[in-house]
Amino acid sequence: MSFVTSVIDWQRERGRHDLPWQNSRDPYRVWLSEIMLQQTQVATVIPYYLRFLSRFPTLASLADASQEEVMPYWAGLGYYARARNLHRCAQTVARDWQGRFPEKAADIASLPGIGPSTANAIAAFCYNARQPILDGNVKRVFCRYYGVDGDPQKKATEQRLWDLAWQHLEDAPAQVDMGAYTQGLMDLGATVCTRSKPACETCPLADGCVARREGRQFQLPTPRARKVVPQRQVCMLVLEHDEKVLMYRRADKGIWGGLLTLPEFADRRACTDWLQQSLGNDVQPLPLAAFEHVFTHFRLHIEPMLAHINAAPTLLPPGGDADHLERWQWIDINSLAEAALPAPLRTLLSGYFETDAQNPRLL
């Protein structure tokens, strides 16, 4: 039995069949799920996927929306460039492809935010195209099955894995259910050939697996070299007036691009100085409990401060950001649940405003 046939038979019998994006050949739904699943676990994605579709049920509805309308439905999912590219891609398909996703993988890969593996997955699921995929889970399956050494993120190792992925399809029977094969590879990596607890005894590929034969399951894929994770520090101000909070919409690029965030300062002293210069020395912000948020490349140590003011002054934004006054706005605290907030700030604000406002959590 060939590699491809073994994966297909296993998927039909033991693979996952109840995910909300399965059993659909609608490229919009498949594309949305593939983008959301990048760097994000299935259990986290499902509620976001369903909520996003309830607001944007078709590609046309997404293309017609503004980015400000889209971002709240991605807030908390992380890697926000995905959402911006998703929106750009929908607009590109609507404008350049008459609102219909292209069928060829190469054309799909030309769209914003879609790489080769995602393009191939869409083509395989929706059009039964004979195209291989190579996401993180599939890389792990191939590295173990063939005993491939080397960091799979490195170009040479990745190219070796692509060659193997193509070879499987060249050796496969003439008629292949590409949807079942593609889903089977994903399911194997996610549920059987897992990173820390591979279930080799239930794997349909166990008999031919080099890592299992040589006892190297926990050595492959080759781990990336550990790097010291730098730490950054910022002070964020929760400035409340008339049940509203002062917030800033960040530029599209960079960390939390396109999301609403709180005013930022180098430290608590700088925050206090700005408040007193703007509002007078009688304003004394209160320190809230500090916390950390871990990004891919650094840790961010956040020290929040809280201040309540009775009258809304004309404030010069922190850092003298007078060129972007339109980005500053007062957000009603009752609309924070629907606002496009990063996950740690949503937790911070909900933790404060859902408790007694007269008794904030102080250090």
Paired sense of beta strands 260-261 and 244-249, if any: antiparallel
Residue 355 clears pLDDT 50, i.e. is over it: no
How far apart CA 234 and CA 238 sit, in angstroms, is 13
Angle at 334 between CA 331 and CA 336, to 5 degrees: 60
Q: Does 287 lie in the same domain as 202? A: no
Q: Any idea what the CATH number is for the domain that residue 251 is in?
A: 3.90.79.10
Domain-terminating residue out of 214, 243, 276: 214
**Strand, helix or coil at 163?**
helix
Q: At what angle do helices 116-127 and 27-36 cross, to 10 degrees?
A: 150
Q: Does 196 lie in the same domain as 295? A: no
How far apart CA 355 and CA 360 sit, in angstroms, is 7
Q: Report which DSSP code applies to 355.
A: S
Task: Label residue 41 left, alpha or beta by phi (over 0 means left) and psi (-120 to 50 means alpha).
Answer: beta
The H or E element that residue 329 is part of is strand 328-332
Q: Does 208 lie in the same domain as 80? A: yes
Please count the structural domains in the chain.
Answer: 2
Confidence of residue 362 (pLDDT cuts 50, 70, 90): very low
pLDDT of residue 315: 61
Q: Any idea what the CATH number is for the domain that residue 73 is in?
A: 1.10.340.30
Residue 361 clears pLDDT 70, i.e. is over it: no
Q: Is residue 253 part of a domain?
A: yes
Could you read off the pLDDT of 256-306 as tens digits, one per residue? 999 999 999 999 999 999 888 887 777 889 999 999 999 888 999 999 999
Could you read off the pLDDT of 146-173 as tens digits, one per residue? 999 999 999 999 999 999 999 999 999 9
pLDDT of residue 322: 54
Q: Is residue 222 part of a domain?
A: no
Residue 82 clears pLDDT 60, i.e. is over it: yes
Q: DSSP labels for 102-146?
A: -SSHHHHHTSTT--HHHHHHHHHHHH--------HHHHHHHHHHH
Q: Is residue 141 part of a domain?
A: yes
CA-based end-to-end distance of the chain: 64
The residues annotated as belonging to the active site are 34
Residue 211 clears pLDDT 90, i.e. is over it: yes
- Residue located via tokens 């693979």: 15
Angle at 68 between CA 305 and CA 256, to 5 degrees: 45
Q: What domain range is 166 assigned to?
A: 3-214
Q: Is residue 226 part of a domain?
A: no
**Strand, helix or coil at 195?**
coil
Token pair of 335 as six digits:
């609309």
Rounded to 5 degrees, φ, ψ at 241 are -150, 125
Please report, rounded to a whole number, the percentage of residues in the chain having pLDDT higher than 70.
Answer: 94
For residue 346, give the nearest of 78, 39, 85 by alpha carbon: 78
**Strand, helix or coil at 252?**
coil
Q: What's the average model confidence in pLDDT over 74-83?
A: 92
Could you read off the pLDDT of 2-47 as tens digits, one per residue? 999 999 999 999 999 999 999 899 999 999 999 999 999 999 999 9
Domain-terminating residue out of 214, 246, 279: 214
Q: Does 246 lie in the same domain as 195? A: no
Domain-terminating residue out of 166, 186, 214: 214
How far apart CA 11 and CA 186 sit, in angstroms, is 10
**Strand, helix or coil at 236?**
strand
pLDDT of residue 267: 95
